[in-house]
Amino acid sequence: MQLKLWQPMQLEEPGNCPYLPGRTKRFEYFLATEVGSAELSLLLAQGWRKFGPYFFRPRCPGCCQCIPLRVKVQEFAPSRSQRRGLRKGASLDVRFGPLQPSEEGFHIYRRHSLERFGQHSTREDFLAAFYQPSCPALQIDILLQGKLLGLGFLDRGQDGLSSVYFCFDPGHEHLSPGTFSILMEIEQAASLGLDWYYLGYYVPGCPRMSYKDRFLPREYFDWENRRWFDPDVERTLKG
């Protein structure tokens, strides 16, 4: 696999883990452009994530709790609570298309970042993170009565979609737009004939990451043995 690298693989300086108190985080990373769909699939299958040209995966000392998770698209069936989420979103319109920045989208991103994470974001941050694609990418817009309510960003590999980020107007949280967007993205992956929907890193013990483990069936990536496995199947075999 030959990527157009801006710089060789590097290690970030250690810092405080944002997910588990008292832990240290550290990422290995590289910057790359012109990554094709087949190359992206290989990187996702090896536990890499990305924002724009920045590709990263954890190399935390003494910890492997950031577990890459992917949903088996062709076997997925929504749970009872997820079906309720679909009913909540019955009034919403969904649009998939190319990346297209807008002032409305930026304001939603800025408010979402501030109210949910206490982070102040600039227009430059927004554009740099999501509108400098280094691989095939698309955008999901969720609208209520023609007005943008939420938007998300996905990378498209040869065999799957990878969720990069989703943000929404916090004033519409009662509609569960986060869950609704995931269900729509899984449906989109299925309609494209893809096998996988990558949901990023699942961190056991981190409450705000627990939602990722509710879309079944799914697989985890084993960092030690470099393989994907279905935890439910493994438990059944061991039982």
Q: Percent of the chain having pLDDT more than 90?
A: 85
**Is there a contact between 140 and 181 (Cβ–Cβ < 8 Å)?**
yes
Q: DSSP secondary structure string, 196-224?
A: EEEEEEE-TT-GGGGGGGGSSSEEEEETT
Query: Does the pLDDT of residue 236 top 80, yes or no?
Result: no
Instruction: Judge: domain 80-194, CATH 3.40.630.30.
Output: yes
Domain ranges (residues) in the chain: 80-194
Query: Does the pLDDT of residue 68 top 80, yes or no?
Result: yes
Name the residue with tokens 């600039």.
122
pLDDT-based confidence at 235, cuts 50/70/90?
confident
Query: Does the pLDDT of residue 239 top 70, yes or no?
Result: no
